[in-house]
């Protein structure tokens, strides 16, 4: 760096360190390639803003003049004009050698040399590509003073000529390496006569100031000799540039021991000449932002002012500088044709994109076809075969070996010819080669061979079938992934309906493909090829598509589930079920389970995906409903297709949990906010980070874009009590809204974007004017929760979420377990409803139709409510843990839910609303009687239902009592039933007619458990207190069992009128239910006793506890026999084997252990061999266990049912239920029905 520049930095260092924020400054310097990512990281590691600024200045001081210029320009761009003014006089002059500089950085010496040498001027519209320009310069420097060749090669229209000319605009390069000047010749496609004319013109140009006028050379050999002498004697150390070389024989005329740079589409063109050789490959694509920059320069608009079609145009141009320039020049002349040219590109109408630049070819298709015409006829046929390759896919060599029935070496030789001519690209991955076409080349080939595409697809399918016969590729083969991903694509392209149906409707293919690539691509194929698959009937395709859509989250995990068992859970009319049943009948050594009552259960969701490896905190639709963005505890942002779940983007976005994400109105950007205090804006298609905001001082809880396209406004709120409004076009915080006294949890724009609503832990909802940031209104939500004797300040109400009605007249607010609807103008309460007494509301969203509201609840479910009638419309279950978010699609036809269980579920609103809002509580009783399964269940907390489990028919239903039902039980003879209510009342009824026989107001709290004795005359019950009641309901006599100090967890009847009870006080007691006396008292655990089991011989019992231990006790000695200590979480359940030899215990980590009851030794630890990150064995707690009668098999419940081999500890089968977590297992005596 110049001394003057360095002194200006040092002189103004204090002012710079005080004011600048480094993040945006560094973005500019990195894009100017004067700052590295490693240096950026060094700056970010500093603790304070001032320290980061100081580190950046220290780094700049070690660099050159370009760093100073870049820093100065970055200050101007980011609005630090006063600081930039301090550095202005220190800006170093452009190095000129002769002391003179020009406006564009070129010295007069460079201008003269390039003008005399015939080097093309810069295009009217020019954007820099510094990496490639520097690469060309570097290779020219490598020539030194020795003769040799530099080849700049790439496909048609990639910018070879412009980049080469730009590389020569360097004073130092010309003066140090080519003082003899440069001589540019545009060669192109020539015959010998044409080449001779080019040589004659060059010789004439080089002899222009000679005193002796010579006749032109008469042939190429003479011209070659004359050129050699001129370069040797008159122009030593000069550079000859041959632009657009097509044939290697042309270069022989210039092979005269001088220094030559050539541009060509053919990498191998220098093979026929001698000397040192260097290559520069010009990539085929510009970055998206560079493409937008070119368009903006052509049409004289800022990038931010370009119409919506601009982004689509650049994407369709596939990064080609030629195509973008052609389009830009056309739009300059016809500024209203954005949509027209976009359609031409999308429809591959290249001939309509005609010449409007200095390029050598009349139309885009001509530029591409001329390269193909250079191939010999055999090679043209091979190249035509590539027309059916899928876009953006690198194809392994073996695929083409199968297609052409050739050895690897033969195929590689053919493909290398295409690579050399820039007609194909090669990616070497270890020892193997992968080949791909540029999108424009593929578009051109597809259009050119349109009438032959079906036959070409058919050929590749037939060659695959010939090679693999009835087998399928295995993962160890390099072509395996290609066929699993694209065999269906080729069959569809060939219109091979039968073959495609056989493939797509095969459980073998589904199993093999989903194990490799997951289910999303298969779902996409069912949608994509539905017109072919449905030619006879759409039912089968719908069966398979639904099967994958609803089970894909299971198929995409390890260990891979048994697809036959999953298939057996489908409806019996489904083709999936029919295939699975045939497979199950043929399988030996594996047992499968039939779901007896599946007819009554309907899947209400449309798709289940599992994109994250931890809790999903938020998910949302794009405005066009095609994409979903999600974020969560794994610190990633995911974007995937709403139709299939196919992943489009996965970004490690933050350093801590991501709490919220949102699409911009036009879908171009996604914003994320995190516990790391940062807000980030991402390009939703490329995943590129557009900007980072770091002004919040605490975790940022929510981010929401405004609703209208064109203006990018983002509202964010944080635990720092502030709401901030950001303008993406200006990259700064436009307004900070201050007024909340505690953490702000949620914020949303009104539908017209005029207002922002915010919800806070301080118990208020505030409305703000978006333009000014002024507070308009404040609603004290905590006023609606206080009791008559409480002051507002005494009530703590965390306001979780709010949602605007479609017209913006009403705002819905949720806090605790209440929905509250307010009039925005008056702030008056319009209505309120208590959603649940047992869980809190996590999130809410208004359906765009304004009548429906969706609420996410902490107890794993989602409910839809009609806000006008204040009635529940639907109850949606399926999640296994807390639901954090529920969001409607913009048209209200779908809504999605995200949960702690790592899944996102997409639901169809109409389908859900047509379903019943009914739900059966998990507290039920079962009696296995004469081959029948009789179930007593609580329906919607209002009715008792007696259900035949075999037929799923309701035998009896009671009238609704005055208080919700909390528990129930059946007598063994199926004559009586009993139920407890939340009011504390217990009732006994007759099953024959549902008539209540006896009723007793037993408790002041909700009844938790009730059970009949074997003679059915006595009912034992417990509630949320420490007393057990033994009620002889026929004699109306009651005995109270008092002795526990805390609430009873549960109890179990023993023989001889004895009862075993366990409590949260850590004790287990044995009672005489006749006298009410305690016979034995066991101080078992330091924590709550969660379960007990009695050995079949009645000699001992086991206890499990929240203290992570299990114990085996002797009834006779009242002492502990074994303490079992290896669990790492609460031990939730236990059971003895029928042979008395084993004890199984299950914990909240999802792990099961099998112990020897005689010695207390751990025999087996039951868990899958491989488990996805964060994925427990049971998807949650192990809630119940049961051994088979022969003690050889164990069944466990949790998120789903699992069967285990007791001898080996291995998993035998898994049964995934359609609902939430399972609470208990009831097993028939023969272990055949559960």
Q: What is the mean pLDDT of residues 1040-1046?
A: 92
3-class state of residue 617 by DSSP = strand
414 phi, psi to nearest 5 deg: -65, -45
| pLDDT of the residue at 209 | 57
For residue 252 the two structure tokens come to 């022989």
**In this structure, are residues 266 and 245 in contact, taking their beta carbons and an 8 Å threshold?**
yes
929: CB partners within 8 A, 6+ apart: 974
Give the rounded distance of the alpha carbon of 98 from its chain centre: 57
Query: Distance between CA atoms of 1037 and 1159, rounded to whole angstroms?
Result: 45
Average pLDDT, stretch 871-885?
84
Extract the tokens encoding 1146: 């299950």
* Per-residue model confidence (pLDDT) at position 97: 40
Per cent of the chain over pLDDT 70 is 93
**432: pLDDT strictly greater than 90:** no
Give the model's confidence band at 961: pLDDT under 50 very low, under 70 low, under 90 confident, else very high: confident
Condensed to tens digits (0 to 9), the pLDDT of residues 747-797 reads 999 999 999 999 999 989 999 999 888 999 999 888 887 664 445 555 578
The per-residue pLDDT for 320 is 75
Mean per-residue pLDDT over the chain, rounded: 85
Query: CA-to-CA distance for 462 and 598, rounded, in angstroms?
Result: 42
Angle at 181 between CA 176 and CA 187, to 5 degrees: 125
d(CA 766, CA 758): 5
pLDDT computed for residue 434 by the predictor: 86
pLDDT tens sequence across 110-160? 888 887 788 887 776 777 788 888 889 888 888 877 888 999 988 877 788
Is pLDDT at 652 greater than 90 in this prediction?
A: yes
Q: Is the pLDDT of residue 1177 over 50?
A: no
| CA–CA separation, 1057 and 1018 (whole Å) | 11
Total number of residues shown for the chain: 1234
Number of H helices, E strands in the chain: 33, 64
| Contact assessment for residue 219 and residue 240, using Cβ atoms and an 8 Å cutoff | no
At 41, give phi and psi (nearest 5°): -65, -40
- Half-sphere exposure of residue 450, counting CA atoms within 13 Å on the CB side? 7
Give CA–CA dist 326/140, Å, rounded.
30
Task: Give the Cβ contact number of residue 807 at 10 Å.
Answer: 11
E strands, 516-665, are 605-609, 616-621, 627-632, 636-641, 647-652, 658-663
C-alpha 1039/C-alpha 1030 separation (Å) is 5
Distance CA 1093, CA 31 (A): 68
- This prediction has a pTM of 0.74
- Tell me which residue of 1061, 955, 1064, 1067 sits closest to 1011, measured CA to CA: 1061
Q: Is 1104 left (phi over 0), alpha (psi -120 to 50) or beta?
A: beta
User: How far apart (Å, rounded) are the C-alpha atoms in residues 379 and 367?
Assistant: 19
Do the Cβ atoms of 957 and 920 come closer than 8 Å?
Answer: no
Per-residue pLDDT, 837: 65
310: enclosing H helix or E strand: helix 309-316
Q: Is the pLDDT of residue 416 over 60?
A: yes
pLDDT for 1131 equals: 92
β-sheet bridge partners, residue 727: 713, 732
Mean pLDDT confidence for 213-218: 77
- Which segment, 95-99, 235-239, 348-352, is predicted with the most confidence on average? 235-239
Confidence label for 427 from pLDDT (cuts 50, 70 and 90)? confident
**Residue 601: predicted pLDDT:** 65
- The 10 Å CB-count burial string (b at 16+, else e) for 584-603 is beeeeeeebbebeebeeeeb
The Cα 19–Cα 78 span in angstroms is 12
Supply the pLDDT for residue 103.
38
Triad 913, 915, 918: Cα angle to 5°: 110
Backbone angles phi, psi at 540, to 5 degrees: -65, -45
Question: Do the beta carbons of residue 549 and residue 607 sit within 8 Å?
Answer: yes
pLDDT higher than threshold 50 for residue 1079: yes
Could you give the angle at which helices 377-385 and 397-404 cross, rounded to 10 degrees? 120
Predicted local confidence at residue 1072, as pLDDT: 93
Task: Examine the pLDDT at 356 and tell me if it is beyond 70.
Answer: no
> What's the rounded Cα separation, in Å, for the pair 708 and 518?
36
Q: What pLDDT does 561 receive?
A: 82
Q: What number is the average pLDDT over the span 583-597?
A: 82
What pLDDT, on a 0 to 100 scale, did the predictor assign at position 1233? 79
Whole-Å CA distances, 1111 to 1094, 1120, 1155, 1186: 12, 7, 11, 18
pLDDT of residue 359: 47
Q: What is the pLDDT of residue 284?
A: 66
State the Cα–Cα distance between residues 869 and 1085, nearest whole angstrom: 51
Task: Verify cis geometry, omega within 30 degrees of 0, for the bond prior to 64.
Answer: no
Mean pLDDT for 1157-1165 is 91
775-780 and 799-804 beta bridge pairing: unpaired
**Over the stretch 1094-1112, which tens digit does the pLDDT of each residue have?**
999 999 999 999 999 999 9
Q: What pLDDT is recorded for position 465? A: 92
Per-residue confidence (pLDDT) for residue 98, from 0 to 100: 40
SS3 of residue 390 by DSSP: coil
Contact between 713 and 754 (Cβ < 8 Å)? no
The per-residue pLDDT for 556 is 67
The pair of three-digit structure tokens given for residue 351, joined into one six-digit string: 């001939």
Radius of gyration of the chain (CA): 38
Asked if the model's pLDDT at residue 855 lies above 60, the reply is: yes
Would you state the pLDDT for residue 1092? 94
Beta strands, E only, 1013-1047: 1018-1023, 1028-1032, 1037-1041
The upper half-sphere exposure of residue 1113, i.e. CA atoms within 13 Å in the direction of its Cβ, equals 24
The first and second tokens of residue 785, run together, are 């929760």
Residue 1175 has pLDDT above 70, yes or no: no
Sequence-distant (6+) residues with CB within 8 A of 881 are 615, 860, 899, 900, 901, 1180
In 422-505, beta strands by DSSP E: 425-429, 432-436
Q: What is the pLDDT of residue 272?
A: 82
H or E element in which residue 802 lies: strand 799-804
Across the range 559-587, mean pLDDT stands at 86
Three-class DSSP category at 536: coil
Helix/strand/coil percentages in the chain, nearest 5:
30, 30, 40
Collapsing DSSP to helix, strand or coil, 1166 comes out as strand
Report the pLDDT value the prediction gives residue 593, as an integer from 0 to 100: 84
Label residue 1080 by pLDDT band (50, 70, 90).
very high
Longest dimension (CA), the chain: 139
Among the listed ranges 66-70, 385-389, 913-917, 1129-1133, which one has the minimum average pLDDT value?
Answer: 913-917
Q: Is 1039 helix (H, G, I), strand (E, B) or coil?
A: strand
The tens digit of pLDDT for each residue in 262-294 reads: 998 888 888 888 888 899 988 767 778 888 888
The reported pLDDT for the residue numbered 713 is 92
Residues 6 or more apart in contact with residue 1197 via CB below 8 angstroms: 1178, 1182, 1183, 1184, 1185, 1222, 1223, 1224, 1225
**What is the average pLDDT across 492-517?**
90
Range 996-1014 average pLDDT:
91
Q: Which residue has the tokens 């204040």?
A: 870
Dihedral of alpha carbons 549, 553, 554, 558, sign: positive
Residue with tokens 């922002």: 756
Q: Is the pLDDT of residue 857 over 50?
A: yes
pLDDT tier at 717, thresholds 50, 70, 90: very high
Give the sign of the dihedral formed by CA 428, CA 429, CA 433, CA 434.
negative
Q: Do residues 1104 and 1088 make contact, with C-beta atoms less than 8 angstroms apart?
A: no
Question: Worst-scoring range by mean pLDDT, 29-33, 95-99, 446-450?
Answer: 95-99
Q: Residue 367: name the closest of 122, 147, 161 by CA.
A: 161
Residue 357: what pLDDT? 44
Q: Are 1222 and 1197 in contact (CB under 8 A)?
A: yes
> Residue range 596-622: average pLDDT?
84
Q: Are 784 and 748 in contact (CB under 8 A)?
A: no
Low-confidence winner among 482-491, 708-717, 732-741, 1209-1218 (lowest mean pLDDT): 1209-1218
For residue 1170, the model assigns a pLDDT of: 42
pLDDT at 94: 52
Three-state DSSP state, 522: helix
What the block records as the tokens of 731 is 């990259």
Three-state secondary structure of 880-899:
CCCEEEEEECCCCCEEEEEE
| Spatial separation of the C-alpha atoms in residues 1007 and 532, rounded to whole Å | 59
* Distance from C-alpha of 843 to C-alpha of 855, rounded to nearest angstrom: 6
Contact (CB, 8 A) for 1166 and 1154: yes
3-class secondary structure for 240-271? Answer: EEEEEECCHHHHHHHCCCCEEEEEECCHHHHH
């Amino acid at each position: 760096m110049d001394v003057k520049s360095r002194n200006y930095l040092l002189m103004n260092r204090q002012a710079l360190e005080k004011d600048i924020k480094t993040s945006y400054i560094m973005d500019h310097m990195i894009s100017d390639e004067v700052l590295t990512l490693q240096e950026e990281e060094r700056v970010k590691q500093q603790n304070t803003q001032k320290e980061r600024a100081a580190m950046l200045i220290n780094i700049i001081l070690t660099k050159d003049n370009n760093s100073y210029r870049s820093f100065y320009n970055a200050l101007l761009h980011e609005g630090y004009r006063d600081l930039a003014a301090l550095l202005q006089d220190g800006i170093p002059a452009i190095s000129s050698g002769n002391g003179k500089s020009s406006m564009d950085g070129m010295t007069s010496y460079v201008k003269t040399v390039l003008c005399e040498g015939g080097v093309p001027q810069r295009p009217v519209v020019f954007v820099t590509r510094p990496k490639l320009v520097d690469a060309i310069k570097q290779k020219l420097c490598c020539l030194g003073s020795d003769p040799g060749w530099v080849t700049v090669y790439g496909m048609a229209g990639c910018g070879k000529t412009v980049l080469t000319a730009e590389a020569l605009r360097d004073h130092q390069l010309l003066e140090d390496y080519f003082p003899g000047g440069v001589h540019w010749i545009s060669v192109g496609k020539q015959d010998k006569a044409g080449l001779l004319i080019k040589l004659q013109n060059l010789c004439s140009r080089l002899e222009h100031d000679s005193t002796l006028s010579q006749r032109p050379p008469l042939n190429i050999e003479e011209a070659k000799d004359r050129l050699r002498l001129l370069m040797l004697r008159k122009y030593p150390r000069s550079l000859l540039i041959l632009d657009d070389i097509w044939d290697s024989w042309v270069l022989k005329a210039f092979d005269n021991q001088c220094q030559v740079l050539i541009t060509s589409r053919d990498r191998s063109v220098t093979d026929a000449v001698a000397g040192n050789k260097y290559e520069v490959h010009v990539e085929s694509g510009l970055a998206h932002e560079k493409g937008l920059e070119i368009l903006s320069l052509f049409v004289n608009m800022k990038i931010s002012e370009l119409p919506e079609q601009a982004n689509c145009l650049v994407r369709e141009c596939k990064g080609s500088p030629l195509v973008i320039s052609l389009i830009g020049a056309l739009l300059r002349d016809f500024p209203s044709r954005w949509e027209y040219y976009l359609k031409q590109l999308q429809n591959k109408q290249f001939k309509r994109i005609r010449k409007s630049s200095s390029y050598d070819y009349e139309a885009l298709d001509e530029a591409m076809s001329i390269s193909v015409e250079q191939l010999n006829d055999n090679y043209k046929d091979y190249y035509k075969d590539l027309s059916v390759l899928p876009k953006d896919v690198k194809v392994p060599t073996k695929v083409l070996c199968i297609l052409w029935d050739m050895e690897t070496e033969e195929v590689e030789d053919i493909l290398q010819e295409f690579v050399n001519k820039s007609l194909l690209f090669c990616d070497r991955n270890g020892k193997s080669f992968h080949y791909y076409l540029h999108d424009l080349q593929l578009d051109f080939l597809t259009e050119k061979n349109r009438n032959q595409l079906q036959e070409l697809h058919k050929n590749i399918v037939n060659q695959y079938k010939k090679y693999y016969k009835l087998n399928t590729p295995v993962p160890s083969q390099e072509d395996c992934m290609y066929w699993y991903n694209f065999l269906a694509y080729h069959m569809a392209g060939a219109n091979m309906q039968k073959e495609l149906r056989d493939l797509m409707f095969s459980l073998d293919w589904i199993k093999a493909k989903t194990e490799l690539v997951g289910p999303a691509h298969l779902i996409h194929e069912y949608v994509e090829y539905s017109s072919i698959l449905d030619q006879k009937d759409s039912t089968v395709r719908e069966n398979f598509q639904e099967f994958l859509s609803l089970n894909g989250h299971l198929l995409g995990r390890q260990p891979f589930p048994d697809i036959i068992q999953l298939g057996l859970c489908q409806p019996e009319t489904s083709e999936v079920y029919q295939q699975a049943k045939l497979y199950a009948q043929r399988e030996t050594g594996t047992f499968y389970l039939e779901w007896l009552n599946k007819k009554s259960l309907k899947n209400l969701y449309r798709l289940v995906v599992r994109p994250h490896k931890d809790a999903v905190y938020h998910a949302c639709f794009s405005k066009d409903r095609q994409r979903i963005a999600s974020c969560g505890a794994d610190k990633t942002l995911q974007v995937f297709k709403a139709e299939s779940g196919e992943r489009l983007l996965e970004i490690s976005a933050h350093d801590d949990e991501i709490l919220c994400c949102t699409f911009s109105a036009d879908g171009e950007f996604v914003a994320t906010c995190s516990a790391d205090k940062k807000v980030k804006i991402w390009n939703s298609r490329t995943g590129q980070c557009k900007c980072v905001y770091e002004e919040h001082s605490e975790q940022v809880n929510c981010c929401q874009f405004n609703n209208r396209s064109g203006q990018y406004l983002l509202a964010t709120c944080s635990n720092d009590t502030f709401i901030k409004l950001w303008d993406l076009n200006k990259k700064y915080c436009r307004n900070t809204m201050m007024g909340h006294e505690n953490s702000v949890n949620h914020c949303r724009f009104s539908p017209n974007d005029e207002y922002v609503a915010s919800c806070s832990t301080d118990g208020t909802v505030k409305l703000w004017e978006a333009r000014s940031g002024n507070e308009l209104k404040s609603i004290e939500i905590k006023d609606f929760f206080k009791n008559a004797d409480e002051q507002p300040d005494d009530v703590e109400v965390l306001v979780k979420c709010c949602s605007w009605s479609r017209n913006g007249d009403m705002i819905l607010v949720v806090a605790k377990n209440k929905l509250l609807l307010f009039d925005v103008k008056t702030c008056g309460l319009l209505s309120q409803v208590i959603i649940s007494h047992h869980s809190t509301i996590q999130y809410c969203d208004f359906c765009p139709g304004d009548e429906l509201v969706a609420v996410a609840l902490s107890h794993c479910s989602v409910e839809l409510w009609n806000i006008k009638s204040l009635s529940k419309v639907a109850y949606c279950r399926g999640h296994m843990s807390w639901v954090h978010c529920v969001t409607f699609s913009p048209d209200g036809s779908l809504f999605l839910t995200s949960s702690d269980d790592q899944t996102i579920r997409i639901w169809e609103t109409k389908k859900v609303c047509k379903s019943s809002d009914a739900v059966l509580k998990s507290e039920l009783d079962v009696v296995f009687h004469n081959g029948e399964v009789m179930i007593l269940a609580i329906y919607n907390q209002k009715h008792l239902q007696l259900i035949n489990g075999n037929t799923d028919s309701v035998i009896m239903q009671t009238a609704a009592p005055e208080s919700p039902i909390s528990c129930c039980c059946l007598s063994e003879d199926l004559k009586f039933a009993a139920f407890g209510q939340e009011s504390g009342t217990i009732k006994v009824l007759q099953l024959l007619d549902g008539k209540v026989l006896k009723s007793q107001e037993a408790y002041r709290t909700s009844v938790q458990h009730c059970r009949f004795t074997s003679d059915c005359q006595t009912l034992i019950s417990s509630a949320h207190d420490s007393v057990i009641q033994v009620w002889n309901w026929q004699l109306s006599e009651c005995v109270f069992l008092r002795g526990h100090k805390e609430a009873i967890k549960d109890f179990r009847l023993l023989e001889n009128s004895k009862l075993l009870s366990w409590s949260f006080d850590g004790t287990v007691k044995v009672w005489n239910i006749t006298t009410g006396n305690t016979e034995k008292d066991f101080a078992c655990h330091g924590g709550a006793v969660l379960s007990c089991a009695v050995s079949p011989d009645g000699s001992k019992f086991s206890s499990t506890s929240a203290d992570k231990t299990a114990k085996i006790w002797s009834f006779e000695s009242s002492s502990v026999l074994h303490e079992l200590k290896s669990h790492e979480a609460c031990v939730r359940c236990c059971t003895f084997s029928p042979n008395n030899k084993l004890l199984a215990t299950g914990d909240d980590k999802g792990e099961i252990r099998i112990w020897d009851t005689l010695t207390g030794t751990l025999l087996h630890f039951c868990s899958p061999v491989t488990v996805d990150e964060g994925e427990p064995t049971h998807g949650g707690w192990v809630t119940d266990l049961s051994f088979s009668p022969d003690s050889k098999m164990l069944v466990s419940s949790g998120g789903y049912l699992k069967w285990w081999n007791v001898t080996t500890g291995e998993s035998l089968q898994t049964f995934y239920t359609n609902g939430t977590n399972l609470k208990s297992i009831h097993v028939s005596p023969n272990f055949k029905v559960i």
